[in-house]
Structure 1
Amino acid sequence: MIDRPEAQIDTIVALASGRPPAAIAVIRLSGSRAAETVRALCGRLPPPRRASLARFRDPRSSEVIDEGLALYLPGPGSPTGEDVAEFHVHGGRAVVAAMLDALTALPGVRLAESGEFTRRAFFAGRMDLAAVEGLADLVAADTDAQRRQALAQASGVLGARVALWRSQILEARALAEASLDFADEDDVAADALEQARAGAAALREEIAAALDKSRGGERLREGFRVVVLGPPNAGKSSLVNALARREVAIVTAEAGTTRDLIEVHLDLGGFPAIVTDTAGLREAAGLVEAEGIRRARARAEDADLVLWLSPADAPTPPPADLSEAPLQVVWTKADLSARSAPFSISTHTGAGLAELVAFISHRAAACLQGGEAAVLVRARHREAAEVALGALERALVPGVSPELVAEDLRLASEALGRIVGAVGVEDVLGQIFSAFCIGK
């Protein structure tokens, strides 16, 4: 368990279900006053871990607010490690507002901040930081592949792996330090140091393999990036609208309509994709259009796939200095020309769109496949693992003294500990928990 900040002495309350109106609303409390808060509204404390029918009254006036279910979960065996209570009420706006007003009028009870319930679970040792991030990803998951990856993270897969890695480092450190204790016995000292190096070498290979898979894991979280480029009036915005099946970009006959980047998030065969509409590439007519073209080229640099759109009746090859990202030429306005190419589409008739979607889906699957099995799925995870890997490689340099080997192993363990929040993560806590909704 990590020391809790002083702010956690309050009992917090929030709506834990979706925004009203709804059939049912769940209002959650956590803190030392949870039990007396339940008594104040229900007149009694229900048996622990058993949902009980109750009539909820405003303690200030004894007016009945609603009837529903009350649930009390005493700590430490609760989601936050504290006493927790839930009120299941009807999901109308007036009911929810009246309940929250009555609850926050009680001494020591206040509305929760973003992610504060999960923050308390972290400080109580109920979750490590990697699992917290997995929970945030699970809430935000748009596709089935993202859901599976996030569920594994929230279930503690990375935390378990890091714990194993740190245990292996501890064993290697013990051997390195033992070689110091037996420095006057050359054979014993040399054998202990060699075993320490062997353990570090095996761990280095395992972490390096995890890092190799990390790109797929990060991309699965963020989405397969498709950037649509081409000259003005090539049909870029029409294609993006067709892929999104709604009007996300303005389409006109006027060249240069799109000036800025327009992104749409799609589910392609269970894999997430981000398709970006861009300004047409040409000699810009003004400063605004020139900036749009600059942004288009910059976004293409980070793309997993660039679609170069060119009208079939007036083919335009992609610029020679275009991004080195994988590129596919697509002829548009196929209904206006008898010419064809490997990929010819018409957003007017729908011709070729199914084949293009299948192509993008196949490329996305190839890029993101295996991302669900990755354990390092955030840039923060990867950066810490790279620091640990560097420390292990220094420990394996021939001729390094046992003292330096032990120190590098300590640094590797510390870097891995930052992944799960065991050490030195205070500077990232606010950023991580602020991504949650209030009721989490």
Structure 2
Amino acid sequence: MSLAATIAACSTAPGRSARAMIRVSGPTVPSLAATLTGSPTRRGCTRGALPLPGENAAGSLPLPVLLAFFHAPHSYTGEDVLELQLPGNPALIDRVLRYLASFPGVRPAQPGEFTARAYFAGRLTLDQAEGVAAAIAAATNEQLAAARELLQGRAGAAYQGWADEASMLLALVEAGIDFTDQEDVRPIEPAALLARLGALRQAIASHLGARAGAEATVAQPLVVLVGRPNAGKSTLFNALLGRRRAVAGPIAGTTRDALVEPLDLSPSAPGAGTVQLADLAGLDDMQSDQPDALAQAAARHTIARADLLLWCDPTSRFDERDLPPTSAEVLRIRTFADRPADPHPRVPQSSFRVQHSALPVCALDGWHLADLKRAIAEHACSSNQAPLAALLPRHRAAMHDAIGAIDLAATLIDTRDTGLRRPEELAQTLRAALDALGELRGRISPDDILGKVFATFCVGK
């Protein structure tokens, strides 16, 4: 990502609209703006007309635009920036972008490059930059609120506080190593160090929203197979996983316990993640014994936590009375679609729409399994994500690394001692925790982390 070039891209949503905005940022913006307006650049808005080259014998096309010039560093990117407002016609926008790219030193912007330049110029912290991407991708009010936490710096303030505390503890430990000959330098006592490490760990774990180590499962949507006994749930469960995990048989009540396994949807739905897939006992109000009753209770408890229900019914009746009350989305699945007596003949995949009817699936030969996985990805992975507890994967990983380093440091401390037994090893462990927390603030982030962050943006942001 070179900062020497001037970049240009459309910063408004694709499609037709009354107005669109093209943003240009970089070192050649002043000369480019002077060429477009025919006068020296000055801060503010100017009306003008772009002499777009004609694509036929008709000659050039004067396009009326409104130009806004922002002097560095008083712009989004911290560079000289020119914004052009023009009619929101996609073909017209494309012609303007090609026209701008014909100027020396101007090229199309890469995804997230405007925000990356704002970060490198110190206009945004890394977590605020990620907040921009999170706000763009937000599909719910909760996700938008979490993005605002990042954009407004509240999450960053917490990260900074943790890093400051870890840095202070590291300094106190290293003081006992480097200045042992100084009478006025007193290293931190083991009990005090352990207490402060415990408080720091608790603060990080609380921000994750649950016990450390449990968030990866919490952050993944829970998809639950439901239906009456012998509805083909366990067979479908095994088929989706691609291996035999549940015992499937013709006898009702084969499944008693709730089985939960991770299901990676990315092979069938590129860009989708992993969900937790659960197979439950069949829903039946007529329990014959206590184990049946316990299985029913476990099933209903899992259903209450579900993000998406796959309602399996080989008869296609889907009696609403069979389904417990739930706030989760429901996809109807017609299982055993391979049965010759099925009154519903198979239809071409292209003519089937999941949201309007039950999806016929054959778990034995895999018919419509790929369609089902794509439907799961569409419904489960696009909503009901924990907004701030799950966070961004990079944030969650850094917090886990920091907690792991803090836990390791705690094992090196014995409160019965008057001093630290292994201060060098302890300092190295605290440095690892500080490095992990530093990644959250972008101050110790390697280039590959930065590249992954800004690659998630769309062009023009």
Tell me if TM exceeds 0.5. yes
Q: Which amino acid aligns with 2:112?
A: G
Query: How far apart are the structure 2 equivalents of 1:281 and 1:198?
Result: 49
Aligned partners of 2:191, 2:146: CA distance in 1, in Å?
A: 38
Contact 2:227 2:282 in 1 (8 A): yes
Distance 1:22 1:85 in 2: 21
CA distance in 2, matches of 1:92, 1:385: 45
Residue matched to 2:49? 55
Does the CA contact (< 8 Å) of 2:208 and 2:396 recur in 1? yes
Match of 2:121 in 1: 124
Deviates further, 63-72 or 208-217: 208-217
Residue 4 of structure 2 is matched in structure 1 by 9
Matched, 1:72 2:79: no
Check the 8 A contact 1:169/1:199 in 2, yes or no. no
1:139, distance to aligned residue in structure 2 (A)? 0.9
What is the alpha-carbon distance in structure 1 between the residues aligned to residue 159 and residue 123 of structure 2? 16
SS in 1 for 2:276: coil
Give the corresponding residue for 2:111.
114
Whether 1:142 and 2:139 are equivalent positions in the alignment is yes
Structure 1 unaligned residues grouped into runs of 5+: 237-254, 262-279, 285-295, 337-344, 362-367
Question: Which secondary structure does the structure 2 equivalent of 1:14 belong to?
Answer: strand
Cα distance change, pair 179–34 in 1 and its aligned pair in 2 (3 A):
same
Residue 303 of structure 1 pairs with residue 300 of structure 2:
no
Query: Is this contact kept in 2: 1:388–1:412, CA < 8 A?
Result: yes
Deviations 1:246-281 (A, max 9, x none): xxxxxxxxx99x9769xxxxxxxxxxxxxxxxxx99
Residues in 2 aligned to 1:14 and 1:144: alpha-carbon distance in whole angstroms: 28
Q: Match for residue 86 of structure 1?
A: 83
> Among residues 24, 29, 35, which one is paired with 2:19 in the alignment?
24
Cα RMSD, aligned residues only: 4.6
Amino-acid identity (%): 30
1:151–1:184 distance in 2 versus 1, CA, 3 Å: same
Superimposed CA distance per residue, residues 159-196 of structure 1 (whole angstroms, 9 cap, x where no aligned partner):
22221111122222332233345524678525577655
User: Which one has a larger percent helix, Structure 1 or Structure 2?
Assistant: 1
**Alpha-carbon distance between aligned partners in 2 of 1:80 and 1:121, rounded to the nearest angstrom:** 4
Instruction: Provide the TM-score with structure 2 as the length reference.
Output: 0.64
- 8 Å contact from structure 2 (residues 225, 312) kept in 1: no
**Shift in Å at residue 17 of structure 1?**
0.7
Cα deviation, residue 88, structure 1: 0.5
Distance 1:395 1:224, change over 3 A: closer
Distance 2:431 2:120 in 1: 24
Describe the SS at the equivalent of 2:19. strand
| Contact 1:218 1:371 survives alignment (8 Å) | no
The Cα shift of 1:107 comes to 0.3
Partner of 1:377: 391
Unaligned runs of 5+ in 2: 251-259, 265-273, 331-382, 415-419
CA drift of 1:104 comes to: 0.5
Q: Residue type of the partner of 2:449?
A: V
| Structure 1 residues 29 and 235: alpha-carbon distance in aligned structure 2, compared to 1, 3 A threshold | farther
The DSSP-based 3-state class of the residue aligned with 2:20 is strand
The AA in structure 2 aligned to 1:56 is L
Asked whether the 8 Å contact 2:16–2:89 carries over to 1, the reply is yes
Other-structure match for 1:100: 97
2:23–2:81 contact (8 Å) kept in structure 1: yes
1:22-73: CA deviation from partner (whole Å, max 9, x where unpaired):
211110111111122222222235542x333222224899934421311111
Question: What is the SS of the residue equivalent to 1:358?
Answer: coil
How many residues align structurally?
Answer: 363
1:98 deviation in Å? Answer: 2.1
**Offset of 1:422 from its aligned partner?**
1.3
The residue aligned with 1:438 is 459
Deviation at 1:90, TM superposition (A): 0.2
* Aligned equivalent of 1:358, options 327, 351, 359: 327
Match of 1:421 in 2: 442
CA–CA separation in structure 2 for the residues paired with 1:219 and 1:65: 57
What is the distance in 2 between the residues matched to 1:431 and 1:188? 43
Which residue type is aligned with residue 176 of structure 2? S
Cα deviation for residue 417 of structure 1 reads 0.8
SS in 2 for 1:79: coil
User: Following TM superposition, by how much is the alpha carbon of 1:391 offset from its aligned partner in structure 2, in angstroms?
Assistant: 2.7
Q: Aligned to 2:327, what secondary structure does the other structure show?
A: helix
1: CA distance between counterparts of 2:437 and 2:52? 49
- Tell me, in whole angstroms, the C-alpha distance in 1 between the residues paired with 2:36 and 2:213: 51
Report the Cα offset of residue 114 of structure 1. 1.5
User: Which amino acid in structure 1 is aligned with residue 201 of structure 2?
Assistant: R
Match of 1:40 in 2: 35
- Distance change (3 Å), C-alpha of 1:83 and 1:404: same
Deviates more, 1:195-204 or 1:19-28: 195-204
Cα 1:182–1:436 shift into 2, 3 Å:
closer
Deviations 1:309-345, CA, capped at 9 Å, x for gaps: 66999x9x99x9xx999534999899x9xxxxxxxx9
Which residue of the partner structure matches residue 266 of structure 1? none
